[in-house]
């Protein structure tokens, strides 16, 4: 009887009604994407020159300039995460032959905003035996490095917070600090599940940071600069994934895998494995403190995809459409690929995860780095 019901559920997923529902979802998603593209093009066509006097005043005051850029980055991070969460829910529903969000707003478009409002009004609970100082500060230690990295991400030649000459190195340095916040959350909660999740996260992030750094340095070796803006400019003729394919293709694959591990995304989500650790390092968190962890995760997802776009796919370069629109489209494709992996591949065991890094990725990234050095000396020049 149970097997018959399971078969019936599977068959029901392919009825004409379900096919019509999926077509409706696809149409709604297409409409939303077109609306976002139209809005992006419209914003890029606004005559921003009328705001030049205000920008000049802001630029002449370092503190005001830093505040304005930080304000814009913080709002972008918050708003785009709402869209990414909705998109992942819809994409996962499409992969698994279900609807996903549908009832709050048109096709569930306001579901994530409703969830954020719910978390905002939830009670903020601190466990009685927790280290309250660490428990309170941990979500911000996880979220603040994300804001710093977005200050360095170039959406176009003009749309970049700060164009440092050593931006690639600073990105690697800042992203490592996320592990401190995760460990603080695990230790401060005074919960064994949380502590195990925090310890796993530190081991995982610090281990996969090594092949990720070597892969980024391989691209830096090819381009001869650590400025992310300059790396994009040097791909004006051909993207790195095309012009330096023997080096760039394996480097991209390695960086993509390392990004999944850095983001604690499946199959590397051992720090918050619900089948083993309840919710891992954020088991004891509720309300907006809990939301900060997910805000940082999805924002980092966009950033890592954007970093790969800058290093391998020409950043904002592209025909017809404005640069920021091209950058957003390329980044969204890679974010969707990460979601596809998350909802397809099963989770590793802890020993498999660490062995895969030290026995597989580290030697492979060293080989790619050496190949990049030889390629830049003997072939590219």
pLDDT band at residue 9 under the 50/70/90 scheme: very low
Does residue 326 carry a pLDDT above 70? yes
For residues 257 and 269, give the distance between their C-alpha atoms in angstroms, rounded to a whole number: 13
**Rounded mean pLDDT, 83-103:** 83
pLDDT at position 10 is 43
Contacts of residue 205, defined as CB under 8 A and 6 or more positions apart, other chains included, come to 176, 178, 179, 182, 261, 262
Residue 18: how many other CB atoms lie within 10 Å: 15
Does residue 13 carry a pLDDT above 60? no
* Residue 270: C-alpha distances to residues 61, 178, 203, 205, 278 (Å): 45, 16, 11, 11, 11
What one-character-per-residue DSSP string does 334-355 give? HHHHHHHHHTTSPPPPHHHHHH
Does residue 360 carry a pLDDT above 70? yes
Q: What is the pLDDT of residues 160-204, one digit of tens each?
A: 877 788 888 888 888 888 888 888 888 888 887 788 877 888 888
Task: Please report, for the chain, the start and end positions of each structural domain, with discontinuous segments joined by +.
Answer: 1-121, 126-381
* Residue 291: C-alpha distances to residues 78, 282, 285 (Å): 11, 10, 9
pLDDT at position 255 is 93
For residues 185 and 273, give the distance between their C-alpha atoms in angstroms, rounded to a whole number: 16
pLDDT band at residue 256 under the 50/70/90 scheme: very high
- pTM equals 0.81
pLDDT at position 1 is 46
Percentage of the residues of the chain whose pLDDT score is greater than 70: 79
For residues 117 and 123, give the distance between their C-alpha atoms in angstroms, rounded to a whole number: 12
CA 378 to chain centre: 35
pLDDT at position 307 is 92
pLDDT at position 43 is 57
Angle at 231 between CA 157 and CA 241, to 5 degrees: 120
210-214, Cβ contacts within 8 angstroms, sequence gap of 24 or more? 210/357, 210/362, 210/365, 211/254, 211/258, 211/357, 211/361, 211/362, 211/364, 211/365, 212/172, 212/254, 212/255, 212/258, 212/259, 212/262, 212/365, 213/172, 214/362, 214/365, 214/366, 214/368, 214/369
The angle, 0 to 180 degrees and rounded to 10, between the axes of the packed helices 192-223 and 245-262 is 160
pLDDT at position 61 is 61
pLDDT at position 8 is 43
Per-residue tokens: 287: 């309300």
């Amino acid at each position: 009887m149970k097997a018959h019901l399971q078969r019936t559920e599977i068959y029901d997923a392919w009825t004409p009604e379900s096919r019509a529902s999926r077509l409706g979802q696809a149409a709604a998603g297409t409409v939303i994407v077109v609306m976002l593209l139209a809005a992006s093009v419209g914003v890029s066509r606004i005559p921003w020159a009328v705001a030049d006097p205000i920008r000049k005043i802001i630029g002449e005051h370092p503190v005001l300039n830093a505040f304005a850029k930080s304000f814009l980055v913080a709002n972008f991070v918050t708003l785009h995460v709402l869209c990414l969460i909705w998109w992942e829910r819809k994409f996962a529903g499409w992969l698994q032959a279900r609807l996903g969000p549908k009832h709050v707003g048109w096709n569930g478009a306001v579901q994530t905003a409703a969830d954020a409002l719910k978390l905002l009004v939830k009670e903020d609970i601190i466990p009685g035996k927790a280290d309250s100082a660490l428990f309170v500060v941990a979500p911000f230690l996880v979220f603040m490095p994300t804001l710093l990295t977005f200050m360095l991400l170039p959406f176009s030649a003009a749309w970049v917070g700060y164009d440092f000459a050593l931006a690639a190195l600073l990105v690697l340095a800042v992203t490592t600090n996320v592990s401190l916040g995760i460990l603080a959350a695990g230790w401060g909660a005074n919960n064994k599940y949380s502590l195990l999740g925090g310890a796993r996260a530190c081991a995982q992030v610090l281990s996969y940071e090594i092949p990720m750094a070597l892969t980024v340095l391989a691209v830096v070796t090819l381009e001869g600069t650590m400025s992310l803006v300059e790396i994009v400019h040097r791909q004006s003729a051909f993207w790195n994934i095309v012009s330096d394919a023997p080096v760039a293709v394996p480097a991209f694959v390695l960086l993509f895998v390392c990004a999944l591990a850095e983001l604690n995304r499946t199959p590397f989500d051992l720090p918050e494995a619900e089948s083993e650790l309840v919710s891992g390092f954020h088991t004891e968190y509720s309300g907006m403190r809990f939301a900060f962890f997910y805000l940082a995760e999805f924002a980092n997802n966009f950033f890592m995809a954007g970093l790969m776009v800058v290093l391998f796919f020409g950043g904002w370069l592209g025909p017809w459409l404005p640069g920021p629109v091209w950058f957003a489209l390329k980044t969204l494709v890679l974010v969707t690929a990460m979601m596809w992996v998350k909802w397809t591949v099963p989770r590793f065991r802890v020993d498999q995860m660490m062995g895969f890094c030290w026995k597989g990725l580290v030697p492979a990234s060293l080989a790619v780095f050496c190949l990049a050095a030889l390629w830049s000396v003997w072939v590219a020049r």
